Chains A and B, each alone.
Chain A
Amino acid sequence: MRGQLHNVEVRVPASLSDALALLAREPGVWTPLAGGTDLMVVHNAGHLKATRFLDLSRFEELRGIREEAGALTFGALSTFTDLRDSVAVHRHFPNLVKSARATGALAIQNRGTLGGNIANASPAADTPPSLLAYGAEVELLSVRGSRRVAYDRFHLGYKVMDLAPDELVAAIHVPLPTGRGFHYFRKVGTRQAQAISKVCLAAWARIEGGVVADLRIGLGSVAPAPIRARHAEAALLGQALAALPIEAAREALLADISPIDDIRATARYRSVVTRNVLGHMLRELANL
């Protein structure tokens, strides 16, 4: 299958500031292109509405994973392979390594980017649940300057983001967890590689004195966008590991999710399996 090329235009700006200037001059006209692993699929199928692309792939300033000020900063062009290969990511954010490994397979992981995974805004993407669990912030850049948005407030609906037409996702900042941590990631797909999630759950908890002192649960494929499971989190915060209210949390999760029937799973399947994965995670947490 091949997309039509006759009306497609591509710009390769000489610098990031040229790219931002173009976006400011013609907001909403140019679609940023990074690794192409989502965009080219839709284009090849002939379903892509966008015809004007802005190639960002050569901007070195959008690459790299750096530790700074108590956080790991990921350039938006960090690939899934970069995540898999980073010692710091393995040490601090094992869920992100698992997310990266769970995305497509190697050829996709070599090209697909963290920024693209966010800005493509698929509810089924596999890094967003981990980014939600780790309390990430997204750094957005435009000619007007840069601003940061808490990632759990970035997705506003299906493919709707707190992202102005002249802005680019430039970096992702993830605070380094402190204290005694618990990390959990589980993707449910038809097979281990090259599968799109039916359900994806990532969690991080900080344990203090046998009690859940802090907890974030990120979910994929069960709502119009990646979401926090705030009701389930509330049911568990402050609870002792020895007496986790697993059933109450599973019940509370129903208020967090709004799954649908689609080609990958039914809403009912997603609802049951998300609760089961939460139960599995909580039994692991209880045995910590």
Chain B
Amino acid sequence: MAEPITLSLTVNGESRTLSVHPFARLLDLLREDLRLMGTKEGCGEGECGACSVLVNGQVVNSCLVPAVQVQGAEVVTVEGLAQGESLSSLQAAFLTYNGAQCGFCTPGMLVAATDLLRRCPTPDDGAIRDGLAGNLCRCTGYSKILDAVHAAAGEGEAAR
């Protein structure tokens, strides 16, 4: 058994220090150690995107990231997207456009779409599909999700 490591990282802007197994999954640190339950486990093998979080500004599958590799990292989960009670424009657009059905994929969709809009503020359909290609929705409500991302990108302009 490996000795636990002292892991220091920033989660949603807050410095956190944890004693964890060096190979524990980032997903489990978030959900079990930090009780941030927004990040979901779908497949556990990097196929579904339900566990998407940002690490140092890049979207990753938190089920595939061992603790040792986030030492000193800056992590943002779905809980970090809103400013207090005020939803991000993307979250608001998901509500307005019914971008969530059962909701299980939604945290991952929001995180991946947040990353997309940072890199590409006015994406076309192709860019959105590419940006969300790793996030599966088994309710298959993809067109509403596309609408919501377009709307958030448009913010006052025509969505398409």
Q: Count contacts between A and B, CB distance < 8 Å.
A: 99
Are A107 and B45 interface neighbours, CB within 8 A?
A: no
A1: chain B residues within 8 A (beta carbon): 44-45
Among B117-142, those with CB < 8 Å from A are: 130-131, 133-136
Are A105 and B68 interface neighbours, CB within 8 A?
A: no
A43: chain B residues within 8 A (beta carbon): 23
A-side binding surface: helix, strand, loop or mixed?
loop
When the two chains form the complex, which single residue of A7, A36, A105, A192 contacts B65, counting CB atoms closer than 8 Å?
Answer: A36
Are B45 and A41 interface neighbours, CB within 8 A?
A: yes
**Smallest Cβ distance from A30 to chain B, in angstroms?**
13
Number of interface residues of A (CB under 8 A): 33
Are A108 and B61 interface neighbours, CB within 8 A?
A: yes
B134: chain A residues within 8 A (beta carbon): 104-108, 193-194
Are A36 and B59 interface neighbours, CB within 8 A?
A: no
Give the contact stretch, choosing among B46-54, B77-85, B152-160: B46-54
When the two chains form the complex, which single residue of B23, B28, B58, B65 contacts A53, counting CB atoms closer than 8 Å?
Answer: B23
User: Within the assembled complex, what's the spacing in Å between the Cα atoms of A94 and B45?
Assistant: 29
Are A107 and B23 interface neighbours, CB within 8 A?
A: no
Asked if B25 is an interface residue, CB under 8 A from chain A, the answer is yes
Assess A5 versus B112: contact at CB under 8 Å? Given A36-B65, A36-B66, A104-B46: no
B46: chain A residues within 8 A (beta carbon): 37, 40-41, 104, 107-108
Asked if B60 is an interface residue, CB under 8 A from chain A, the answer is yes
Among A30-83, those with CB < 8 Å from B are: 33, 36-37, 40-41, 43-45, 53, 55, 57, 81
Closest 8 CB pairs of A and B: A105-B134, A193-B133, A105-B133, A10-B22, A40-B64, A1-B44, A110-B58, A41-B45
Chain A residues with CB under 8 Å of chain B are 1-3, 5-10, 12, 33, 36-37, 40-41, 43-45, 53, 55, 57, 81, 101, 104-108, 110-111, 192-194
Q: What are 12 A-B interface contacts by the 8 Å CB criterion?
A: A10-B2, A12-B22, A36-B66, A40-B25, A41-B45, A41-B46, A44-B25, A105-B49, A108-B61, A110-B59, A111-B61, A194-B134
Kindly list 13 other residue pairs between chains A and B, CB separation below 8 angstroms, not including A81-B58, A108-B61, A194-B47: A2-B25, A9-B2, A33-B66, A40-B65, A53-B66, A57-B69, A104-B134, A105-B133, A106-B133, A107-B46, A107-B112, A194-B133, A194-B134
